[in-house]
Amino acid sequence: MSSFSPEFLWGVSTSALQIEGAFDADGRGPSVWDGHTAKDGSDARVATGHFERYREDVALLAELGVDAYRFSISWPRVLPAGAGAVNQRGLDFYDRLVDELAGRGITPVPTLFHWDTPASLSWQDRDTADRFAEYAAVVAERLKDRVPRWITINEPAEVTLLGHAIGEHAPGLRLVFDALPVAHHLLLGHGKAVQALRAAGAGQIGVAMSHTPVWTASDTDEDRFAADLYDTIMNRLFADPVLTGRYPDTLAEAMPGPVEDDLTVISSPLDWYGINYYNPSLVGAPKPGESSYAGIDLPADLPFELHDLQGYPHTDFDWPVVPDGLRELLVALRDRYTDRLPPVLITENGCSYADPHDDTRRIEYLDGHIRAVQAAIDEGVDVRGYFVWSLLDNWEWAEGFRQRFGLVHVDYETLKRTPKASFTWYQNHIRTTKP
């Protein structure tokens, strides 16, 4: 594909809680997800056993031929109480992982926070932003000599909305719009972490934001208002303060603390901007009664309603497959933020299909979305990397082990890894794309 430069990064992504297991190993402290039982009755105590099998997994990365590996560092494994005493044994694990990656010529791209908040902390509290910055400094001091690229926070929208507004994820709160201060504290933690990483001499710094194109259910004023509000909450609430130093006007008054001073921190300059994309959202005005979407029970008084997208194939997670939505999103973000948008990396994109024998749909999904990235580049968007979610089948949060996103099949009884056909497809794609 001619649009991809020789420097374009091809990678895969994972997160600590979803693959590591080993809850009680090496002094790790509890997170808000410990003891959290998913819909299938499972928890992440074992996950995929990556903590013991990391060398095997790095060997799979080398076989795949990726340039970079995006993983996350477990905050409670490094700081068991969330702050205070550093668990050097926990840091040692990530030290070994980074060395293993470097030895295979794979660039490590760690995410400092991928949802596993230490159990002693809460993002409802402003002080958690300071604790996060202290944690970032600890990790940077240990790994900065071998890590050229950093991610502060993964998907603050989901932490805010799924974890604190509607209670689908840990910590399981249903605060609805009273969850907005959580968004502010997460963004403040991001900004403080950027500053801490810079002060420590860390390399290129970015963030991983989930964004979705928002489509209006109809041309009525009510549907347009609902869709615009949803776009503001899902997209602009998180991108605007980071990229422009301002909140959307409709939400600014809901933010706590010295907001103007905080926005100076939140908008600390980034070297690149990470985008996680899965599908567009079709949104309209709410109808009376309790609503649900994709199996999630939503509060009855939300001022918008999400509709299923018809006319598109769906993954086993029942998410619509719309590759061109990624091109649309990238172009729209470029047009909205112009020169305030740094170079972009697609930090997550992938699909859940359970059949380990027929991986055709996953291959078609990846091929379509990579072509959408190419189309966005052809339209002038500065995209510099693409990371598949995920290397391994893993513990998918509230869904447990029911959803399989991996290029590698994991037998959850034996933890045996078996590359799928999509693994071979992506391997060949990388080989043929590189000069």
The span from the CA of 344 to the CA of 363, in Å, is: 23
| Residue 137, amino acid | A
Q: How many CA atoms lie within 13 A of 127 on its CB side?
A: 5
Instruction: Please say whether the beta carbons of 395 and 401 come within 8 A.
Output: yes
CA dihedral 191, 194, 199, 201 (to 10 degrees): 180
The answer to whether 102 and 108 are in contact (CB under 8 A) is yes
DSSP state letter for 59: H
> Which residue is associated with the tokens 């477990």?
74
Residues marked as catalytic: 155, 348
Placement of tokens 């795949």 in the chain: 64
Q: How far apart are CA 287 and CA 71, in angstroms?
A: 41
Tokens of 281: 């959202």
CA torsion sign for 294, 212, 361, 12 is negative
Integer Cα distance of 9 and 354 in angstroms: 28
Distance CA 211, CA 279 (A): 9
